[in-house]
Amino acid sequence: MRFPPPPPPQPLNANVYLFIFESHPIYDQTQGSTAAAERTSLVAEAAATAVAAAMSTFIRSATTKTKYISTVCAAATEPPPPPPLDSASSTPSSYSAAAQAMPILCRLQQKKHMITPAAYHATGVDMHKQPGGHLLTWLDAMKAQSPPHFHSTAATAAYTAWKKQCPSAVRMFKKLMVEAKAKQVVVFLDYDGTLSPIVDDPDQAHMSDDMRAIVKEVATYFPTAIISGRARPKVYEFVQLAELYYAGSHGMDIMGPANATNGFKAKGTRVKDKMGNDVVLFQPASEYLPLMDEVCKILSESSKGVRGARVEHNRFCVTIHFRRVKEESWGALAEKVENVLKDYPTLNLTHGRKVLEIRPAIAWDKGKAVDFLLSSLGLADSSEVFPVYIGDDRTDEDAFKVLKDLKHGCGILVTSVPKETKASFSLRDPHEVMEFLLYLVRWKKQELDGVKNGSKTSPCI
């Protein structure tokens, strides 16, 4: 079983957390004895880094959170150790704030406080070598991926600061469309958390009729695909729009209309669907299907003893849902997953929002699915194309990276909390996604009306 590296740190505004650190009573209480205020600005920044990383999950309970900040601040005021001597680059001038934050986080870990992978990653610590190893990595990463129910003033301030780096795609719509003018827009959408809200029961993640109607309109004007971790047939069951391309299992199961209503003809292996329609099919991991069936069956049986556990077979990946499992039982469930996977070295373990996922260990992800779909539509390697990808999960980062590397198009992250991302813009929730898609349709209609009427002015929203 192969474990990819921990997720990168979240881009939280250090000034916000430095303010929390300096405003906390413990700072004043210890200032005289430890001379915290007189230490170098690098150490103060290290404290802020530790606070930012430690709070990246935004603990739901206000009381717990206050106590947690106290612990972080107390650890931060302890004198840092000297820089390591076994590294040529570890001179006092190059000893970064992140490096100085490491002992703070280690002290917190010793006190058995939960530290996110983002916190460890910010210090350069290899979490896989820490006590608790893989399970600590995956469980804490999973918690960090899930938006909190509790939003404090600090959380709101952090989100506002973060949006300066990743502004609202709705507010920046006109700027985006200036870049998209005279180009072929292609729309890629995640499903859960993007077109539908995140719910406790994955079988109840229905999209609204209004969302379905606007997605249908989007597909009328632009090649449109839904790329999800779900099984492709399940996504289609939710969306029920034949004019879309569907990429299930994180892009390992792709199917779409051979002749779309928007005039595009996709290239690829053509087959007939259950209704007898011509479709394009691509399944790069088809030989793994028997293995995925086997693993799903074993995990379904072994997880029965964990109340609330749910194992979902998504054809080319198996998803283990933790959303209905009490957090004190997460370790036991994760251990069962790890024990099963020890016998399957050709499978990878990844994480998402309160899920662990098992996938074939092949070089394929949502980014590769975007590349394939652009190529099959004859739109690859062209500066005249403007791909738009909207998603909310860590797995969407592969697609955001593809668009960033293309240097045209845009990635849009759906989130209500700050996150490290390769996306250029953000939307808060599915409601804002629908608003953005509505703007996109109106923009295209106005553009077409302008062409029809001979207008050379740019369409406005």
**What residues act catalytically?**
190
Tokens 């209309």 identify what position?
257
The dihedral through the CA atoms of 126, 131, 135, 141 has a sign that is: negative
Question: What is the C-alpha separation between 173 and 302, in angstroms, rounded?
Answer: 49
Contact yes or no for 306/320 (Cβ under 8 A): no
What's the number of CA atoms in the CB half-sphere (13 Å) around residue 224? Answer: 24
The CB density around residue 311, as the number of other CB atoms within 10 Å, is 21
Chain Cα centroid distance, residue 355: 12
Question: What is the C-alpha separation between 91 and 87, in angstroms, rounded?
Answer: 8
Q: Buried (b) or exposed (e) across 219-245, using 16+ Cβ within 10 A?
A: bebbbbbbbbbbbbebbbebbebbbbb
- What is the widest separation between alpha-carbon atoms in the chain? 79
Contact yes or no for 125/102 (Cβ under 8 A): yes
Phi, psi of 273, deg, nearest 5: -85, -175
Contact yes or no for 5/136 (Cβ under 8 A): no
Tokens 């098992």 identify what position?
358
Question: What is the C-alpha separation between 51 and 362, in angstroms, rounded?
Answer: 37
What's the number of CA atoms in the CB half-sphere (13 Å) around residue 78? Answer: 17
Nearest to 229 by CA among 366, 363, 426, 349: 366
3-state helix, strand, coil in the chain (%, to 5): 50, 15, 40
First to last CA, the chain: 50
Task: State which amino acid sits at residue 49.
Answer: T
Question: What is the C-alpha separation between 25 and 272, in angstroms, rounded?
Answer: 68
Strand order in the sheet with 355-360: 310-313, 318-321, 355-360, 347-352
Contact yes or no for 436/423 (Cβ under 8 A): no
> In the numeric block, which tokens belong to residue 21?
């650190």
Q: What 3-state class would DSSP assign to 173? A: helix
